[in-house]
Amino acid sequence: MRLADGAVIHQVHPAKIGADVTAAVVSNVLLWRERPTAAVAVRVIVPVAGSAAVLGLADLDGLSRTRRGRYVLAHMPLSAQAVRLAGDALMGLGAYRRSALLLIAGAAVISAGWSHALWPRPAGLPVRDRGGLRR
């Protein structure tokens, strides 16, 4: 498997999703309690460790053949990943400012990033999947 495909596929491994969600929840609690240094450390170190573990130990070829794997290969371009990252940052800001509204807005932005298959496409533009182009 190409490294670029592995970097996308690993995002839907249960261990990686668990690490990301756990890091976000713990970090948001720490931000809410005004402990930004610990919060940033958790928000960065836990997902990086999860990625390293999954990339090094998981069967990514097998995962790529699952429904989740096929979805991210077809619908997780850098733009969708950037939307998810922006949502996570918005949630962090919401926790830091103790704003439930910003936390909810951040979660909605993350959901939008995961919903790339539903984003409108310009007419005539081919849909790109990692196996090539298709119309």
Can you give the pLDDT at residue 127? 57
Can you give the pLDDT at residue 116? 84
Identify whether 88 is part of a domain.
yes
Identify whether 90 is part of a domain.
yes
Identify whether 125 is part of a domain.
no
Identify whether 127 is part of a domain.
no
One digit per residue, the tens of pLDDT, for the chain of length 135 reads 688 888 999 999 999 999 999 999 999 999 999 999 999 999 999 999 999 999 999 999 999 999 999 999 988 889 899 999 999 999 999 999 999 999 999 999 999 999 988 877 776 666 555 555 444
Identify whether 124 is part of a domain.
no
Domain count, the chain: 1
| Residue 121, C-beta contacts closer than 8 angstroms, at least 6 positions apart | 127
* Dihedral sign (CA 43, 46, 47, 48): positive
Identify whether 25 is part of a domain.
yes
Identify whether 128 is part of a domain.
no
CB distance 107 to 83 below 8 Å: no
Q: Residue 106: is it exposed, middle or buried by C-beta count within 10 angstroms (0-12/13-18/19+)? A: buried
Which residue range forms the structural domain that includes residue 31? 3-117
Identify whether 131 is part of a domain.
no
